[in-house]
Amino acid sequence: MAGIKENWVTGVGFGNFQKAYQIYEKEEMIFRAYVNHAHNEYLELAFEGGVIAAILMALYLFLLLIAFTKIRRDALQKTAFLSVVFLLVHSLADYPLRTAALAMTFAYMNAIIFHRGFAECRNQSPELVEVDHNGDKLFVPVGASP
């Protein structure tokens, strides 16, 4: 926290956590093993990126909340939202997004959540084609999903 307070404007630079943390590490915290990441993604990003990173994180969380209010019936978007929330909660006590597989999953789930095509498909009425059936004229939807 002292490092964040001291470098709140610009941060220490992305990728510099390990070296910068050593400056603020207290003597009783030094053991044989060294610290390479904070066990809190948010604090590490704020430490490395400063106020701009903190603002971007807050903006993302706000946009995620807005996207959640727009998710109504689509089960895939609901599942993606729950997956993202799980990773965000996990980020409070560990650094899961530093793992390539989880970072890609996180990005993919965000793409599903923020994809506008789901809502547009639901709002569009299907194209109707006039068909002659046993002397009657019917209008049949083309390309409609069930």
94 contacts 37 by C-beta, under 8 angstroms: no
96 contacts 90 by C-beta, under 8 angstroms: yes
DSSP E strands in 12-106: the ranges are none
Q: 16: pLDDT confidence band, cut at 50, 70 and 90?
A: low
| pLDDT digit string, tens, across residues 76-107 | 889 999 999 999 999 888 778 788 999 999 99
| pLDDT digit string, tens, across residues 104-130 | 999 999 999 988 765 555 556 667 888
Chain position carrying tokens 């390479």: 36
pTM to 2 decimal places: 0.64
40 contacts 92 by C-beta, under 8 angstroms: yes
Q: How many CB atoms lie within 10 A of CB 87?
A: 18
25, 27, 29, 32 alpha-carbon torsion, rounded to 10°: 110
Is the pLDDT assigned to residue 33 strictly greater than 90?
Answer: no
User: What single-letter amino acid sits at 126?
Assistant: P
